[in-house]
Amino acid sequence: MLSAHMPPVRHIKPRGGDILLLVGTMKGAFILRANERRKKWEVGGPYFPGNAVYAMNYDGRSGRHRIWAGPQSMHWGAVLRSTDDFGRNWTNPEQANVKFPEGTGAALQRIWQIAPGRDTEPNVLYCGVEPAALFVSNDSGKSWRLAEGLWNHPQRAHWQPGGGGLCLHTILPDPEKPKKMRIAVSAAGMYVTDDGGASWRPSNKGVRAEFLPDKYPEFGQCVHKVVQSKERPERMFLQNHWGLYRSDDRGESWTDVAHGVPSDFGFAMVMHPEDPDRVWIVPLESDQFRCAPEGKLRVYRTRNAGKRWEPLAKGLPQKGAYETVLRDAMAIDVLDPAGVYFGTRSGKLFGSPNEGKSWSTVVDSLPPIVSVKAARISRKNK
């Protein structure tokens, strides 16, 4: 009776070399594919209809074609599920796979981030959740454990939830240093481990907390998104709850680079897969009005590491477009030129196959979009 009223589900038929877009919405997940021209998109889904899907990711390591999703049912809670055939069949674990151990006094609210580990550790996965915590799997997602070093951090009791909840939303394993990793929590700021997760220290030097009496505290910042270069890991960018920053020392200190943007408030941020000087953001008016400034939907890009930001609006609505783009609703692919994609809370998915030079609507009527990830299917493992 209850499960009979579900929408029909379409599936994509991907090929090697295709670009995938994994789109999480408040009402389910969608999987899109296009060939390298990225002009015409095939849409699969909705998967997990009625569930909020804040986290998706693709794991193509070790010849896998695995898509992960963290659907959250208002009724039945959140679990991690995966598919090895692009959505036709999903795992449905008997026991919740990401769950707080007894004694923590916590219950999982939402899965915010799923992040594959380094290429050199193909069976490692990370998962960031609300209430803010990091979970780790060393067996390709079969089992998960709470990262207790972070959970037991003495500052955790002072962390405050942002508008979306007290969420761990960014996970950055250092590309070169296997024991180093950064995470970001709203609103606690960034924390870094140098010993594989045993201990963590706050790492927010120079990042402003506009909403606190002490504007530059050790921790407590509302960091919205952080990106790190794989080619030059010392180069990072950060979109803050007011503030746009660059680091050239692996996140140990941050410099304000909000030059020429209409607002330094925003959520989403992506970096070019190879060039650490190129970053894309979507500024929003303010924390009180989290919509595109002046009703003009504009992506801003820097090509010189934040010295200057340029608007990219060709093909985007420029009148009455009070759109909101959330922290995980922007993605970039690995092609040259890179494709950039973002989704709005009004359910529009935009894409550019040329790094933002021009945009077009990929899908215009999805449920509210909360996450977008891009991936390329390898050619040899079709």
Partner 1 sequence: MAFVFMIPGPLRELAGNRGEIRVSGDADSISDALSHLWERCPAVRDRVITELGEVRPHINIFVDGESIRDVGGLRAPVRDGAEIFILPAVSGG
Which residue ranges make up the site for partner 1 (CB under 8 A)?
1-4, 27, 49-51, 73-77, 79, 92-96, 99-102, 104-108
Is 51 or 203 the residue whose CB approaches partner 1 more closely? 51
Q: Is 294 left (phi over 0), alpha (psi -120 to 50) or beta?
A: left
d(C-alpha 281, C-alpha 268), whole Å? 6
Angle at 251 between CA 272 and CA 230, to 5 degrees: 35
d(C-alpha 245, C-alpha 238), whole Å? 5
Is 317 or 367 the residue whose CB approaches partner 1 more closely? 367
- To partner 1, the closest distance from the beta carbon of 291 in angstroms equals 25
CB 288, CB 239: distance < 8 Å: no
CB 301, CB 278: distance < 8 Å: yes
- To partner 1, the closest distance from the beta carbon of 343 in angstroms equals 19
Is 29 or 34 the residue whose CB approaches partner 1 more closely? 29
- To partner 1, the closest distance from the beta carbon of 93 in angstroms equals 8
Is 14 or 45 the residue whose CB approaches partner 1 more closely? 45
Is 72 or 344 the residue whose CB approaches partner 1 more closely? 72
d(C-alpha 200, C-alpha 219), whole Å? 12
Q: Which two tokens stand for residue 331?
A: 């993605």
Q: Is 232 left (phi over 0), alpha (psi -120 to 50) or beta?
A: beta
- To partner 1, the closest distance from the beta carbon of 58 in angstroms equals 25
- To partner 1, the closest distance from the beta carbon of 114 in angstroms equals 19
- To partner 1, the closest distance from the beta carbon of 144 in angstroms equals 13
Residues 6+ apart with CB under 8 A from 240: 207, 208, 221, 222, 223, 224, 264
Is 95 or 288 the residue whose CB approaches partner 1 more closely? 95
